[in-house]
């Protein structure tokens, strides 16, 4: 068993605004796994670290990748838990290992999705920006046939964001168009109450992380009031021990969890969160974390395998100018896998 890694910088087609800043590029690290006796079959895994958000965004990141690839037997033989402190690397290792075991074809699960039949319902993502830019994105998503739109809020003044949402709701009822918002922890606990009340008037489906992570009591109070259903996102990051995960969910009792394999440590680690959530009647959906089509493909196949019905957050594959050609395609608000379309990973070679 041999392994090596490469760094690749993805270029956004247009600046991606969040409450934590504006993104123009995004680095991904790709792990390649192969058997020296058969080097043509390579498993590929994407380590999608997010600067300022991933718990493994540290100065030791590349050295850890080097150590993993130097002694792959110590990490790849399904001993993914050894990388618990590096969730994005753990995900990349798990992805590469499973890809390699399945012949290096980027095919992880046999489902109707990978057969080219059923698509996965996804939300159309509206990035933060000025009013005109956000309105243009909203109009485009509706024209593209999305039945669920998620708008990031908290960067410009909330009143402007609320008016944009109100305009949508005036034209599309909740039965026709589902509206989600993602605050990325933009509001204080005091502000959040008023924000939630105003959003409730628009029949908003849910809000992701209305206040910053770590304010357990305040988040629990917001969830208990259930003015608008709350989804935990950043709150889950770095909570690695199962007893700590159980305690967190029991204290906060959210309505939803956002499952991001790159930030939580891969499929096995994400499945643990899902199992804990379902045991507590907490709903969930899966969201990509700005991976390239390589990581997005693995996440989408896993998502299809789980047979969940809620719209998923898997629409980020079209964000980049230099993404990899893949079988993934978005049509009428769904993500499809087209088996007849070949991968093009030449930029990584």
59 three-class SS: coil
Looking up tokens 């608000």 gives 333
User: Contact 135/143 with Cβ under 8 angstroms?
Assistant: no
Looking up tokens 């196949």 gives 301
The DSSP result for 116-173, as a single string, is: T-PPEEBPEEE-B--HHHHHHHHHHHHHTT-SEEEEE-SSS-HHHHHHHHHHHHHHS-
Question: Hey, what are 164's tokens?
Answer: 């944009």
Could you say which DSSP state residue 253 is in? Answer: -
Rg from Cα positions in the chain: 20
Question: Hey, what are 286's tokens?
Answer: 């899966």
Which listed residue (141, 152, 212, 334) is catalytic? Answer: 152
User: Contact 1/33 with Cβ under 8 angstroms?
Assistant: yes
Is 163 annotated as catalytic? no
- Alpha-carbon distance of 263 to 203, in angstroms, equals 30
The DSSP result for 169-234, as a single string, is: HHHS-TTT-EEEEE-TT-B-HHHHHHHHHHHHTTT--EEE-SB-TT-HHHHHHHHHHTSS-EEESG
Is 152 annotated as catalytic? yes
List alpha helices for 21-115, DSSP H: 61-70, 73-76, 87-101
Please list the residues that pair with 58 across neighbouring strands.
Answer: none
Active site residues: 152, 260
């Amino acid at each position: 068993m041999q392994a090596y890694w490469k760094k690749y910088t993805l270029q956004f087609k247009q600046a991606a605004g969040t409450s934590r800043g504006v993104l123009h590029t995004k680095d991904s690290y790709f792990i390649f796994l192969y058997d020296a006796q058969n080097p043509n079959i390579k498993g590929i895994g994407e380590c999608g670290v997010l600067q300022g958000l991933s718990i493994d965004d540290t100065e030791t990141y590349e050295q850890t990748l080097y150590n993993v690839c130097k002694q792959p037997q110590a990490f790849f033989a399904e001993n993914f838990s050894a990388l618990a402190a590096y969730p994005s690397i753990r995900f990349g290792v798990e992805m590469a290992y499973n890809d390699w075991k399945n012949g290096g074809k980027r095919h992880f699960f046999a489902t109707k999705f990978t057969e080219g039949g059923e698509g996965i319902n996804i939300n159309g993502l509206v990035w933060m920006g000025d009013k005109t830019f956000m309105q243009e994105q909203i109009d485009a998503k509706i024209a593209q046939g999305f039945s669920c739109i998620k708008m990031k809020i908290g960067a410009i003044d909330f009143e402007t964001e609320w008016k944009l949402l109100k305009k949508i709701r005036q034209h599309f009822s909740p039965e026709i168009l589902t509206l989600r918002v993602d605050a990325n922890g933009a509001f204080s606990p005091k502000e959040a109450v008023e924000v939630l009340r105003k959003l409730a008037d628009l029949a908003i489906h849910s809000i992701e992380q209305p206040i910053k992570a770590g304010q357990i009591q305040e988040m629990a109070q917001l969830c208990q009031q259930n003015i608008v259903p709350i989804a935990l996102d950043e709150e889950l990051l770095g909570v690695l021990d199962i007893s700590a995960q159980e305690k967190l969910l029991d204290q906060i009792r959210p309505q939803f969890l956002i499952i991001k394999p790159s930030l939580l440590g891969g499929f096995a680690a994400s499945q643990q969160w899902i199992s804990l959530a379902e045991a507590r009647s907490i709903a969930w959906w899966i969201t990509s974390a700005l991976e390239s089509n390589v990581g997005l493909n693995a996440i989408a196949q896993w998502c299809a395998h789980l047979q969940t019905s809620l719209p998923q957050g898997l629409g980020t594959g079209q964000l980049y100018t230099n993404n990899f050609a893949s079988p993934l395609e978005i049509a009428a608000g769904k993500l499809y896998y087209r088996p007849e379309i070949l991968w093009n990973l030449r930029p990584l070679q």
